[in-house]
Amino acid sequence: MLVLGLDPGSRHTGFGLVRREGSRLEAIDFGRLSPAPERELAERLGEIALGLEALLDRHRPDRAAVEKVFHGANTRSLIVLAEARGALLATLARAAVEIVELSPAAIKSAAAGSGRADKTQVARMVALQLGIAVDRLASDTTDALAIAIAGSLTLPEARR
C-alpha cells in the first residue's frame, strides 16, 4: 500500500510518501510544498494544490492521510491552517484518493508508540522506521512521514 501523509500549512506543507508491505516500511518520497512567501494566501493555497496534484500524478497513492486540526497558536493561524487543510482535502477528493483523517494522538501513537510523544521522539522513531537521518528532515516533513505511517496502519472501520 502506498500512503501519502500531509502536514498542512500555508507557508510549508510537508509531504511524505510511504510504501507498506506487511510490516516493512519504505520512504518513497518526502519534502515540502513551499509557495512563494510574498504571495497572497489564495495564491499560496493554489500553488500548494498544484504541487499536490503533481505529486498525485507522479506517485498515484492508494490513500492519503491528513492530520485533523484541533488547535492553533491563535484564531487567525487556526483559520489559515484550516484553509490550507481544505485546499488539500479538495484536491485529494477531486483526484478520488481515499482520505483518512487522523488525530495528533493517533499519529504519535502509530509513529512513536505513545500518543503523548513529543516532536523529538516522533522524529527519531520515524527516522528509525524508515532508515532516514533525522537531520535530513524539516519538522513538517517528519510530521508528514509520521502521518503516512499512521495512515498505512488505519483499519477500514477507522476511516472517515
Choose the catalytic residue: 21, 29, 67, 101. Answer: 67
Active site residue 98: no
The answer to whether the beta carbons of residues 9 and 84 sit under 8 Å apart is yes
Helices marked H in 20-134: 41-59, 75-94, 104-112, 119-130
3 state SS of 4: strand
140's enclosing H/E stretch is helix 139-153
Active site residue 140: yes
33's enclosing H/E stretch is strand 24-33
Active site residue 7: yes
The answer to whether the beta carbons of residues 77 and 10 sit under 8 Å apart is no
d(CA 29, CA 18): 7
Name the residue among 93, 119, 114, 95 with its Cα closest to residue 7.
119
Choose the catalytic residue: 29, 140, 143, 157. Answer: 140
Active site residues: 7, 67, 140
